[in-house]
Structure 1
Amino acid sequence: MVNLHKRQIVQNVSCNLCNDHPEDVLHAVWFCKEISSVWDSLDWFHQLVTAPPVCFRDLLARFLHYREEYRAEIFVIVAWLLWNRRNALHFGRPALPVATICGKAGSYLQGFLQAQSKVPGQSQTPIAQQWRPPDSHCFKVNFDAAVFRALHRAGIGVIVCDWNGAVLGALSSSIPLAQSVADVEALACLKAVSFAQEIGLTRVVFEGDSAIIIGALNQATGEVANYGNIIEDIRQQVGVFQFVVFSHTSRVCNSVADALAKKAKVVMVEQLWLGDIPSDIAPLVYLDIH
């Protein structure tokens, strides 16, 4: 509306959604109170925008320099969906409900990534495929750790899904910083095993992106390392499961557990979610590609 006013096409520059402020691009996709619930549900977005942006280019630049966990891509798609929603409402066309924007963004990004993994002239099997369990009664438990050296703390993240990808539970926990990163990763695995036991799972595939820890568990190594006692504790605890596998995965495919581990930097107490997941983590679930 501000641009149309500059071109003397309209007289009123007010936003048609809130009617409170002039509608420039930054207001339309970021500041408008009618869409604030989209960004409010993603706490980590505001960690990247600590000061109010002066223009959309300034806002976009902050995310383009952030290349972790596909958050820059999620921001771009969410902004694009909000702009298209604004135009649909302006011209009287059906518009996406605000509550569905984040989920739709995650779904679009997953589709794009899967399309990029197909190479012309080769087999059309995607490089990144949806995880398939050994059987329909098996569950997948992803774990990861984050180190906060300045705080002398570490974070642990765990996410539990069924064979169809539905989230059963999640965990974010802050612990004292261990002697090494491998120690912290081992503690994250131990926490994942304990969590799986507590919620009654019996057939589990544990996935982590630490090749050292997964290798130690699968190859009976690591006894002389600092984390050897933790590895032994894990082996003893998994004896109660009917079926258990420890599998190494890439960081890309472990983004949800990673985000939950980093969430522990803000909240020092252990947080548990059963049957759902934190709203700021939910978009990353759509990118859990295996």
Structure 2
Amino acid sequence: MDVTCPICKKDLETVEHAILRCVSAKAVWAKWIDCPIRILDCSLDVTDLALNLMNQGTQSDLEKFFGVAWSIWYNRNQVVNEDCGAVAEHIWGLAIRLIEDFKEANSQIIKPKGTKDRAWKPPPKDVYLINVDGAIPAMEGNSGIEVIIRDWNNQVVAALSMPLSGRFAVEETEAIAMEQGIVLAKELGLNQIILEGDSMQTVQAICSKDVWGVAGHIIHGILQGMNGFNSAEARYICRNSNKIAHELAQQAKRSGEECKWIGVVPENLANLCRLEGI
């Protein structure tokens, strides 16, 4: 039985090597720019690193640590069992998205009976609400993004369903969706906008002007683009309240074709709008 690491094909494979020491694993951990402890070139095992994070980091840091560790191990199994694997950006992005999805699902379970997610609501008069979302393939294929712009009368002004040129990391895909929302709003000559997306990490990066992450260069472009409006803000909305954007992003990922609608609403989009009470 070959006990050599199936990724680097050099060192003896142990749990610590697979998750922490392998060059492939290190490339993923290098994406964690604001990690409160040193993981790269550290001699501690997984348990000791987790204990250090408990002492020096936050609960969110601990969640991220185990999420990334699982994502690295999952990719290792894909290489061994399916003869396919992902690059560091996608392994990192998968972990971040899984953590966000888990938190949202968990919030639904513990939510007091009778409370509801904030439903989609029209923006104030003369302000346009731009809902965006991104979708990434599980392993193969291209990412996709969607933009839908509605006015204060709940009317769809424009929509965009666009596949991307490759398989991007989650953070990049969600940020590109925001960026394309700004591009479409400028194309329409809008002056006051609100950007809404269901990626908490992307919205927080925009609001805190954090341009140091994986999608930092895209966040920087978003911030510059927002300065071109009379008023512009970004805010988070849960996925259950962002269903139209989510569905069209999945459509872009599946179809591989770009579609843009201005002033008209296709039948499938109209049906989704009716479900949201438009």
Q: TM-score, normalised by structure 2?
A: 0.55
Question: In structure 2, what is the equivalent of residue 191 of structure 1?
Answer: 180
The code of the aligned residue for 1:137 comes to D
Give how far 1:265 is off: 3.0
Gaps of 5+ in 1: 1-116, 120-124
Match of 2:193 among 200, 204, 212: 204
- Structure 1 counterpart of 2:243, which letter? S
8 Å contact kept, 1:140–1:160: yes
Q: Secondary structure in 1 aligned to 2:253?
A: coil
Quote how far apart the aligned CAs of 1:129 are.
Answer: 4.6
Structure 1 residue aligned with 2:212, among 224, 232, 243?
224
Aligned residues of 1:160 and 1:169 also touching (Cα < 8 A): yes
Alpha carbon RMSD of aligned pairs, Å? 2.4
Identity %: 30
Question: What is the Cα deviation at residue 287 of structure 1?
Answer: 3.4
- 1:170 is aligned to 2:164: no
CA radius of gyration, larger in: 1
| Per-residue deviation, 1:271 | 0.8
User: How far 1:157 sits from its partner (Å)?
Assistant: 0.7
Q: Partners in 2 of 1:268 and 1:127 — Cα distance? A: 32
Aligned pairs, number: 167
Give the alignment partner of residue 131 of structure 1, picking from 121, 124, 137: 121
TM superposition outliers: structure 1 runs of 4+ over 6 Å: none
- Partners of 2:240 and 2:230 lie apart in 1 by 29
CA distance in structure 2 between the aligned counterparts of 1:219 and 1:130, rounded to whole angstroms: 24
SS at match of 2:260: strand
Q: Deviations over 1:117-159 (max 9, x none)?
A: 994xxxxx976455142x3100100000111244430111111
2-structure distance, mates of 1:241, 1:185: 21
Q: Which residue of 2 aligns with 1:257?
A: 245
Q: Contact 2:161/2:249 (CA < 8 Å) preserved in 1?
A: yes
Contact 1:169–1:275 (CA under 8 A) maintained in structure 2: yes
Q: Which residue matches 2:134?
A: 145
- Counterpart in the other structure of 1:81: none
